[in-house]
Amino acid sequence: MPTAEQPPNHHQNGKEPAAPCRTCMDFKSWSKQQRKSISTSTTAASAAKASAAGTEVAHRKADDGRTVSGGSPPNCPLDKERLGRYTWGLLHTMAAYYPTTPTEAEERNVRTFFTSFSKLYPCEYCAKDFQQELKEIPPETKSQHALSQWLCRIHNRVNVKLGKPEFDCTKVNERWRDGWLDGSCD
């Protein structure tokens, strides 16, 4: 089993990841790993940037551009909006780390996951709607790119139904796996 110091080989088909996987490490371990890669000449600037990033967590942009700050107290049940936002985050992250060349078993597992998910989702209306989406447009499981693009199209169909803006599907890996090209996620 991988340790916090040694991130897991994350769906790279036997290749080591280029950088530690943020989704596989706790924040403290990830920060420590990042500090090791920073040269001593930029330590002060990086520490200031990390501190600013820590305070930024309370005020993020939602996928539709709205500023999201706070919400319900952290120990309260999720409302429909927060549940949806967090669920989409999980689903997109799963797709982002899906194998580039999946095995038949991995393809079967992800199809089974989406079918089961659509039956167990706690919002009954949302679950039934997702079941219908799966009938109309079944998951595309041949690659990470195919699955991520399929999920983005499904998410955009839901966004249209809710009157929300659509997401540019050419940017799914930037948003959910690699981080924005402007470095704002670093």
Name the pTM for this structure.
Answer: 0.67
What DSSP state is assigned to residue 175?
A: I
What's the pLDDT at 29? Answer: 59
| Mode of pairing for the β-strands spanning 59-61 and 67-69 | antiparallel
Tell me whether residue 122 is exposed, middle or buried, using C-beta atoms within 10 angstroms of its C-beta: 0 to 12, 13 to 18, 19 or more.
exposed
pLDDT of residue 73: 78
The SS3 call for residue 59 is: strand
CA distance 13 to 115: 25
> What's the pLDDT at 47?
45
The whole-number pLDDT of residue 71 equals 60
pLDDT of res. 21: 53
pLDDT in tens for each of the 186 residues of the chain? Answer: 444 444 444 444 444 455 555 555 554 554 566 556 554 444 444 444 444 444 333 444 444 454 454 566 778 999 989 999 999 999 999 999 999 999 999 999 999 999 999 999 999 999 999 999 999 999 999 999 999 999 999 999 999 999 999 999 999 999 999 999 999 998
Looking at residue 181, its pLDDT comes to 94
Tell me which residue of 164, 159, 186, 180 sits closest to 33, measured CA to CA.
186
Alpha-carbon gap, residue 66 to 44, rounded angstroms: 32
pLDDT at residue 26, as a whole number: 53
Number of H helices, E strands in the chain: 7, 2
Rounded Cα–Cα distance for residues 159 and 156 (Å): 5
Please provide the DSSP assignment of 63-85 as one string. TTS-EEE--S-TTSPP-HHHHHH
**In whole angstroms, what is the distance from residue 60 CA to residue 177 CA?**
17
Is 80-177 a CATH 1.20.120.310 domain?
yes
Domain boundaries along the sequence of the chain: 80-177
